[in-house]
Amino acid sequence: MSISLGSKKILIISPHPDDEVIGCGGLIAEAKRQECDVFVLYICTGACRQLVTGRTDEIIRSKELEDVANFGGFEYEILFNGENFVKLDVVPQKDIVDPIEDLIEKKKPDIICIPHGSSYNQDHRAVYTACITALRPIPRNIRHFVNTVLVYEEPYVWTVGEVFRPNIYIDTSLVENDKLTLMSLHKSQDRPSPFSRSTENLLNRMRIRGSEFGVKSAESYELIRGSISWILFIFALESGVNQFWWDYWT
């Protein structure tokens, strides 16, 4: 039985505004194209110093986020504003875990995307750890169980811990420009090349991942949980359009 992405509810956990686009912008664009539900939980936003611009402005970032959500066609929520920005490593984990658990129970997603645990960004590591706790195996009669957990790629891995090892790819050939547009709407965060989160670098990364998967452009993920006994992630050609399909073969 083949089920299109359009029948799935997707939850993306983003440490800050722009991480959702860097790691999942292609997925967001493809989900919009297939008219399925995406919800983004931003753990924290606010003003902080920047080595390039000197400082970011919280009001500007909030307006940028509205523009990104409107273009991406997704709903969102922000957990912390201001004081905890880039300080999540000192926030009690329970204060991050509990809201994630509550949102999972409320939204009941089929797929959840979480940041990489070996990021050099301390906020990202804290969010990853909280997500792993919130997603711990619990009997389904107690609370909602997320069948599929994906770790998304981010260009913030240097020499800290494990490297990113993709085993799932999403064809972004049809939505490549949409991902770049989403990043450009985070104007205060977009940087010229060779910065890792520049639109040029995102395009280069998509092209490299595409070459690994035999397509023009792709986005990559690590599957860390899937609950189907036989599960094949493929791109099926239907009516001349590449779509991300899941084949469940029980």
Structural domain count of the chain:
1
CATH number at residue 199: 3.40.50.10320
Nearest by Cα to 153 from 194, 188, 201:
201
The continuous run of DSSP H or E covering 150 comes out as strand 148-152
Question: pLDDT band at 144, cuts 50/70/90?
Answer: very high
Least confident of 16-30, 115-129, 139-153, 160-174: 160-174
The dihedral sign for the CA sequence 37, 207, 243, 4: negative
d(CA 121, CA 204): 22
Boundaries of domain holding 30: 2-248
pLDDT digits (tens, 9 = 90+) for 40-71: 999 998 666 555 554 566 678 888 999 999 99
H or E stretch including 149? strand 148-152
What are the phi and psi torsion angles at 92 (to 5°)? -55, 130
Residue whose tokens read 């611009």: 53
Select the more confidently predicted residue: 94 or 249: 94
Rounded to whole angstroms, the maximal C-alpha distance in the chain is 55
